[in-house]
Amino acid sequence: MDTTSTHPWALQLSSPLQFLTLKTEEGGVKPEIAILFFGLALILGALCKQVSAHTLVPYTVALLIIGIVLGVLDHVLHNGLGTLGESIQIWADIEPGLILFVFLPALLFESSMSMEVHKSG
């Protein structure tokens, strides 16, 4: 039985440090790995919210620090983060207008729902 795969989405191992890097046979990155960073960001955000509730560091500052650390690691290691690094690059190259049209309505909705409209005087 032949163990090599001819499927276009076959797993390609480029180096021992990048054992999770998923590429097509043509060398392109699978767009599905963008979900990896999105999921990791949600998990880190939830953990950061829980931890910052018990510390003096504001939530947004902690998120900023985490984002800077991930960005610097990806830049310094030159894609040594493997699939996570590729996922970060996909999100770094996203159209700015797409971020505006996708995330701004959700942020405005969340802010309006948590706003206190009735003042107790």
Q: How many whole angstroms separate alpha carbon 31 and alpha carbon 86?
A: 10
Q: What would the pLDDT profile of 16-44 be if each residue is shown by its tens digit?
A: 334 344 455 555 667 788 888 889 889 99
Q: How many whole angstroms separate alpha carbon 80 and alpha carbon 18?
A: 7
Domain spans, the chain: 19-110
**Is 62 or 118 the better-scoring residue by pLDDT?**
62
pLDDT of 75 strictly over 60: yes
Residue 31 near residue 90 (C-beta atoms within 8 A): yes
* pTM > 0.85: yes or no: no
Residue found by looking up tokens 């991930």 in the block: 70
pLDDT at 29: 61
Q: Give the phi and the psi of residue 73 in degrees, each rounded to 5.
A: -60, -45
pLDDT at 72: 86
Q: What would the pLDDT profile of 77-93 be if each residue is shown by its tens digit?
A: 876 778 888 888 888 88
pLDDT of 120 strictly over 80: no
pLDDT at 88: 82
